[in-house]
Amino acid sequence: MLVIPAIDLHNGDAVRLYKGDFSKVNVYSQNPAELAARFEGMGAKYLHIVDLDGAKSGAAVNAETIRRIRERSSIPIQVGGGIRSRETASVYLEELRINRVILGTIAVDNPAFVRLMIDEFGADKIVVSVDVRDGKVSKSGWTSDSAVEYPEFIERLTRIGVRIFVVTDISRDGTLTSPNWSIYERISSVSAADAIKIIVSGGVSCDEDVEKARKYYGVIVGKAYYEGKVDLEKCLKNV
């Protein structure tokens, strides 16, 4: 299992939102590149970066900050937020040497685009974000909801070659109330479950949550680290 520290970017700072609400922002670092280097020093094998501004606008708003993080860190990085064109994906994967891009809104609106990205860059470079609110998949930086149920969405995307999913219950994100484990259990019953890798995200609150996620491919740790609820270095050593 991968324990993946998260850096959410807003106006160039590392922040955390509460349930995706931009009016409820905590700033944890004004130097995200230094923060990323700290995570690498702790033993992190992967970083999870979200351009929150990009997720709302559909553009790579924090690309320069992500460039500085890449320059300071040698470990693999996955980036999401506003990646809705081949050009933006190429900037990250080819110019900035990011290892994986995370597709969200575009995967809901245009699954054929996801297939094209897999054909061009490979399934190991393309991750799909499944952001769940009341059983439906959300999009546009969690500002609107689709009519698609998340198990159906995952089934649909696996049929076109997606193998890695970051799955978040929006109602748990930033709340430190533990992940919604029932979502992940339901995903394990979909027909393609054995062929996909699930990354748990949203609500991690303690070392026990990290341990419980061991049955999955990975778990993202954000606010729980910043608020001192998770001993990240210990968790990284125990995986």
Per residue in 3-41, pLDDT (tens digit) is 999 999 999 999 998 888 888 899 999 999 999 999 999
**Domain span at 186:** 2-238
Per residue in 178-227, pLDDT (tens digit) is 999 999 999 988 878 889 999 999 999 999 999 999 999 999 999 999 99
Domain count, the chain: 1
- Active-site positions? 8, 131
Which pTM value belongs to this model?
Answer: 0.95
pLDDT of res. 6: 97
Instruction: Locate 136 and state its tokens.
Output: 């439906």
| Domain CATH for 67 | 3.20.20.70
